[in-house]
Structure 1
Amino acid sequence: MKKTIAWKMAVAGVLIAVCVVCSPLSIPVGASRCFPVQHLVNILAAVLLGPFYGVGMAFVTSLIRVLMGTGTLLAFPGSMCGALLCGLVYKYSKNIPLTCIGELFGTSVLGGICAYPIAALLMGKEAVLWTYILPFFVSSAGGTVIAAVILFALKKTKVLNKMGQI
C-alpha cells in the first residue's frame, strides 16, 4: 500500500482527535497529568507514520490539551521525547517490542529529565532532576501495554503486512 501525504495527514488527524477526545482521562500526579492515551498514540504513530509525524502529533496534541486545560506544560517533553525515540527505533528496527521499550525510555527518562527545567523555570515548581521519571514511566506503561496488544493483534491478522509496516 502506497502511503500518500494525504493518507498520513488523515491518520495523523484521527490519532490527534483520539488523544484530544480522551484527554479528560488523565490522572493528576504532582505537577503533571499522566495520560496513557498519548503513549498509545505515540506508538501507533511510530509504526504507521514514522518518527517525525509522531513528534508533530505529540506537539499538536500537547498544545491542544494545554489550551483546553486538560494538560500541563509537562506534556510537551514527555510526549515528544517518547514519540521521537519510539519512532526512530521502529524506523530502523521494525521491532514492536523494542519500539515499546523506546516509548517507555523516551518518555520516562528523557522526557522526565527534559521536564525538570520546564517545571522549575516556567511553572515555578520545586523539583529535583529525576522527579518526573517515575510518574512519566507509570503513565507511559499503561499506554504502551495497550499499544502492544493492538499492534500484535494487527500483526497476527496480517493487517500490518497489508499496510507495508512489517
Structure 2
Amino acid sequence: MTGTGIRYVRGDATAPAGGGAKVVAHVCNDVGGWGRGFVLALSRRWPQPEAAYRRWHRERARNDFGLGAVQYVRVEPDLWVANMVGQRGIRTGGKGVPVRYEAIDAALDALSGRAAELGASVHMPRIGCGLAGGRWERVEPLVAARLAARGVPVTVYDVDGPGG
C-alpha cells in the first residue's frame, strides 16, 4: 500500500483477489478496436466484455459511447468489467500517444459512483500505460483522487515476467 491508498500486487487483474463485489477496470479506445493488450486477457476469461464493447461501439449513434464513457458488463454474480473509453485511436504518431488523461479521469469519476453503489472494490492493471502510451505518474493521481480518496478499495496488478 502506498501513500495514495492504492494497493499494488503481482498477479492477474482478471483474477481479482478478495471477497465481495469487484469491478475489473481497464481502458478501451474510441475506434472499436479490441485485439491487443489487456483486453486479450479479458477475452480469454470472459466473452461478454468484448461482445458488449463491440455492440456499444457499433450502436454509438444511439448511446453514450465516447471518450470518458464507461460500460459495465456483469461477468459473474459479484464481478463486473468496466470498459472505460480512455484513449483516442490506437496508434502513436504525429499527434502523440493515444491515452487521454481527461477521459480516464471522467471514467474513473463515474466508476467511483458505481463502485460505491455496488459496495465493490476496483481491480486494474496500470490502466492507460500499455498500448495507450500513458505514464503511471499521470494516471496514479487520478486513480487515487477519484477512487481511493473516496473510500473505494483499489488494487493495481503488475504481471510477472519480462515487460510486466
For the criterion TM > 0.5, the same-fold answer is no
Structure that is richer in strand per residue: 2
If asked which structure has higher relative contact order (CA below 8 Å, sep 6+), I would say 2
